[in-house]
Amino acid sequence: MAATTESVKADAAEAPLLNTRNLYAGLGLYLVFYVWVRWYEGVYGWSAGLDSFAPEFEIYWMNFLYIEIVLEILTASVLWGVIWKTRDRNVMSITPREELRRHFTHWIWLACYGWALYWGGSYFTEQDGTWHQTIVRDTDFTPSHIIEFYLSYPIYIITGVASFLYAKTRLPHYQQGLSLMYMVAVIGPFMILPNVGLNEWGHTFWFMEELFVAPLHYGFVFFGWSALGVLGVVNTECEAIGKLLKKDLV
């Protein structure tokens, strides 16, 4: 009885398995930031984004581009650096409960990655279609490209790599090597960003109009398929968590 009481006390004192505050804060951060971005697009897309040779384009859009690139490099360096630097060097000796807790934290990262991938792959990519109906494309750096390619894609890349690094540095299940599908799910969508080179080359020298189904865009399609690597990640996670819960669940 006494032991049970101690155990309950310990439970109450220890960190929760899932830190819901971090989960909601993480998801909320992306939401609030992207709502602000959408507001910025709504206002400055129209007033300063239609002519890339206008001085206001430089002020409101090219400066946006320069700032975001610097911030992205900084964020990636710091975030990935911290996750790596603070890695658990005794990861194989953690308790099952700690491992479970880390799986939850890992899923906060994955939930954020999914959320970021939605904004990049779905929201801002299709949004690009509507903006390029509205302007005559006169630069590689149109307002929608500055947001889509150079903001929303780097953000999901930063999140995805952070998630991968968290798993690799803190979860025993991922010490067997490199999870093939996890790499596909992170590196594949990452490759969409370099594929912008093909897109811009084609649009600059070949195709001025906005035909979404043009073969020029198939590079994006191919790398978009790699998002299906999430199927392997879910399976891997279910195997790992299943091992932890098996004797209590079945």
Partner 1 sequence: MSASQSAVRSRAEAVKVSRTFDYLIIWTLFMVLIGGYHIHFMLTGGDWDFWSDWKDRRLWVTVVPIVSITFPAAVQAMAWSRYRLPFGATLCVLGLLLGEWINRYLNFWGWTYFPVNFVFPSNLVPGAILLDVVLMLSGSFTLTAVLGGMAWGLVFYPGNWPIIAPLHIPIEYNGMMFTLADLQGYHYVRTGTPEYIRMVEKGTLRTFGKDVAPVSAFFSAFVSILIYFLWHFFGNWFSQTRFVQST
Partner 2 sequence: MKTIKDKVAKLSFVALLMTLSAAMLYTPTASAHGEKSQAAFMRMRTIHWFDLNWSKPVVEVNETMEISGKFHVFAGWPETVDKPEVSFLNIGIPGPVFIRAGSWIGDQLVPRSVTLELGETYSFRVLLKARRPGEWHVHTMMNVEGGGPIIGPGKFVTITGTMGSFTNELTTLTGQTIDLETWGLSNIYFWHGLWYLVGVAWLVYWCRRPVFIPRHLAVSAGKLDGLITDGDKKVAIIFFVGTIGLVLFGMGQANSKYPVTTPLQAGLMRGMVPLEMPEVSINVKVEEASYRVPGRAMQMTLTITNNGDSAVRLGEFNTASVRFLDPEVYQDDSGYPADLLADAGLSVSDNSPIQPGETRTIEVTASDAAWEVYRLSDLIYDPDSRFAGLLFFFDENGNRQMVMVDAPLIPVFI
Angle at CA of residue 27, ends 24 and 28, nearest 5°:
80
Each residue 128-157 as x (binds partner 1 by CB under 8 A) or -, in order, gives -xxxxxxxxx------------------x-
CB neighbours of residue 26 within 10 Å: 18
The mark string for 223-242 relative to partner 2 (x by CB under 8 A, - otherwise) is: -----------xx--xx-xx
Cβ atoms within 10 Å of 2's Cβ, excluding its own: 6
Return the one option of partner 2, partner 1, none that residue 53 interacts with (CB less than 5 to 8 A, by type): partner 2
Stretch that binds partner 1, among 52-60, 69-77, 80-88, 212-220 (CB under 8 A): 212-220
Q: Which of 222, 132, 197 is nearest to 205 (CA)?
A: 197
Nearest distance, CB of residue 56 and partner 2, angstroms: 7
Determine, following the binding rule CB under 8 A, whether residue 38 of this chain makes contact with partner 2. yes
For the record, the structure tokens of 242 come out as 């299943």
Q: Which of 8, 35, 73, 74 binds partner 2 (CB under 8 A)?
A: 35
Please state, as a whole number, how many other Cβ atoms lie within 10 Å of the Cβ of residue 47.
10
Output the smallest distance, CB 125 to partner 1, in A: 5
Q: Which residues 76-95 are close enough to bind partner 1 by CB under 8 A?
A: 92-95
What DSSP string runs through 50-97?
Answer: S-TTSHHHIIIIIHHHHHHHHHHHHHHHHHHHHHHHT--TTGGGS-HH
Among 61, 166, 190, 220, the residue binding partner 1 under the rule CB under 8 A is: 220
Q: How many residues bind partner 2 (CB under 8 A)?
A: 38
Reduce the secondary structure of 127-142 to three states and give it as a string: HHHHHHHHCCCCCCCC
Residue 50: contacted member of partner 1, partner 2, none (CB under 5 to 8 Å, by partner type): partner 2
The contact mask relative to partner 2 for 61-100 (x = CB under 8 A, - = no) is ----------------------------------------
Residues, the chain: 250
Residue numbers 115-134 binding partner 2 by CB under 8 A: 133-134
User: If DSSP codes are grouped into helix, strand and coil, which group holds residue 14?
Assistant: coil
Question: For residue 97, what are the CA distances in angstroms to 90, 93, 153?
Answer: 15, 12, 35
For partner 1, the binding residue among 21, 85, 89, 247 (CB under 8 A) is 247
Residues 124 and 109: their CA atoms lie apart, in Å, by 21
Out of 24, 28, 42, 204, which residue is the one contacting partner 1 (CB under 8 A)? 42
Tally Cβ neighbours within 10 Å of residue 223: 19
- Which residues make up the interface to partner 2 (CB under 8 A)? 32, 35-36, 38-39, 41-43, 46-48, 50-54, 56-57, 133-139, 207-209, 234-235, 238-239, 241-242, 245-246, 249-250
